[in-house]
Amino acid sequence: MSAEQEPTFDLAIVGAGPAGMAAAAMAAELKLSTVVLDEQPEPGGQIYRGIERMAASRPRHLEVLGPDYAAGLELTRAFRASAIEYRNGTQVWQAEPAGRIFFRRNGAAGIVRAKKILIAPGAMERPLPVPGWTLPGVLTCGAGQTVLKAHGLAPKGRFVLAGCGPLLLLLAAQLTRCGIKPAAILQTTFNRWAAAPHLPSFLGTPGYLIKGLGLLRELKAAGIPLYANVSQIAIQGETQARAVEFVCNGTTRTIEADTVFLHQGVIPNGNLAWSMNLDHRWDDVQRCYHPKLDAWGRSSNAAVLVAGDAGGIVGAKGAELMGHIAAAAAAVDLGRLGAEQASERTRDARRALNKQRAARPFLDHLYRPEQRWIAPPDADTIVCRCEEVRAGEIRKLVSEQNCPGPNQLKSFVRCGMGPCQGRLCGLTAIELIAETRGVPVSEVGYYRIRPPIKPVTIGDLATLDVPERNDAVHM
């Protein structure tokens, strides 16, 4: 069948995490013909990764991971029960706002068409570039949690967690509940005074504070050493992590570790939104860019909506609510639901979302990384993991060769041009440039992200069944 003959969906959703799943369920309720494309083999996104298999084959691990994870089962069931087309294992490499989405599935390329596109690619972890962070044995806390959830894997030997944010403590607690205790937790950032003014609205979101304090108590009771306010973290090892060196209270310490989990909060997984040329704004508290959205998730492009953490970090519950609301907005824009009806149907969700959002400023300020953790002071620290570009090199190019921004950095040293396409170095690169130039980060801009946003081979392209027409000829 030629791609031309495929039906045009009302709505294409990219991502099957909480935002994408909730959007799909709502879209189905509103009778929109909907396709969901997701690169993982199962629904759930990163937060509910592997939840269906775990519930079926190792229910005891559900207890270990806690009620917030188990809560994803209900949403996953609602998603599975919805009348939508779900394509798993599908990597989207280009989405055109005009309605064509190119993807790769089972080793072949394909296209779907849709009148509206709702992107929900979720979050990724903010890089924590420290000396030695590219060594085998160094992973993100998210990776540690992913393999625990999806595969029942836990680190062998001694391990350390370093950085800041709720996930750092949560992973430590989850592993401890399995009887696998970290050798130490190194906390980099904890701005209690900057966060204090935002405490009242944080307390308005039930459960958050109790959960946080509960984790700390649990780790303390298990006797896990927590070093606060550490600096100068460096991971040692030749071909594999062997130890972590750090400074705490003026004393340099070294802890042996075969595995190190790094984390300093999450940021929008932004390459899809950037590649669609959506307008972005710099958030100086979260220290990352967000696509500009209205209250319903509509982006600067009339055909594109964004839901979940990709639109600015809101957490799993917030993402689910955003998905629900954005699907209603898509139905309104398609003329399938009245604006007033949409307001009514989403009233509770919008109220609940405001509550979730109210908790963010406290967390954002509490864990807002200091300059030294986002613009590595040590010249030898790798910034761009793919092309092996170091912090000192970037500073030198900016100060001595007047390299003004991240795109010029590409031409000088290929920074951001490896297979990850700047995902892991983008924020570090712009922070380093801004710091060296002495200007605000928002003035430095970001990499120009172009499709394909996932690697595609010429062979893949050859499997694409596109009509024999080339618009470029007529231009």
Partner 1 sequence: MFKLLPDSPSERITVHVDGQAVSVPPGFTAAAAMLLHGTGSTRTTPVTGEPRAPYCMMGVCFECLLQIDGEPNQQGCLVTVAEGMRIERQLGKRKVDE
Residues in contact with partner 1 by CB under 8 A are 39-41, 46, 50, 53, 57-58, 60-61, 89, 91, 107, 124-125, 134-140, 142-143, 146-148, 150-157, 178, 239-240, 258-259, 269, 385-388, 418-420, 423-424, 455
Nearer to partner 1, 138 or 164 (CB): 138
Residue among 105 and 113 whose Cβ is closer to partner 1: 105
199 CA to centre of own chain: 25
Q: In the complex, what is the shortest distance from the CB of residue 63 to partner 1, in angstroms, rounded to a whole number?
A: 10
Q: Can you give the C-alpha Rg of the chain in angstroms?
A: 22
Q: How far is the CB of 14 from partner 1 (least distance, A)?
A: 13
Give Cα separations from 121 to 21, 113, 251, 412, 466 (angstroms): 12, 18, 42, 30, 26
9 vs 373 by CB, closer to partner 1: 373
Minimum gap (Å) between residue 64 Cβ and partner 1? 8
* Closest CB to partner 1 among residues 159, 227: 159
**Which residue shows structure tokens 């003014």?**
197
Q: Is the Cβ of residue 229 or residue 463 nearer to partner 1 in the bound state? A: 463
Gap between the Cα atoms of 467 and 406, Å rounded: 37
User: In this complex, which beta carbon is closest to partner 1, that of residue 21 or of residue 27?
Assistant: 21
DSSP string, 384-429: ETTTTEEHHHHHHHHHHH---SHHHHHHHH-TT-STTTTTTTHHHH
To partner 1, the closest distance from the beta carbon of 74 in angstroms equals 22
- Return the number of the residue (221 or 458) whose C-beta is nearest partner 1: 458
The least distance separating partner 1 from the CB of residue 107, rounded to whole angstroms, comes to 8
Q: Which is nearer to partner 1, 240 or 399 (CB)?
A: 240
In angstroms, what is the minimal distance from the CB of 309 to partner 1?
12
By C-alpha distance, which of 289, 296, 390 is closest to 342? 296
- Phi/psi for 405 (5° steps) reads -155, 175
In 3D, which of 11, 8, 22 has the Cα closest to residue 323? Answer: 22
Place of tokens 């509550």: 355
Provide, rounded to whole angstroms, the least separation between the CB of residue 51 and partner 1.
12
Residue type at 257?
A: A
Q: How far is the CB of 424 from partner 1 (least distance, A)?
A: 5
Q: What angle do CA 103, 21, 12 make, to 5 degrees?
A: 40
Residue 269 vs residues 35, 205, 289: alpha-carbon distances, Å: 21, 25, 10
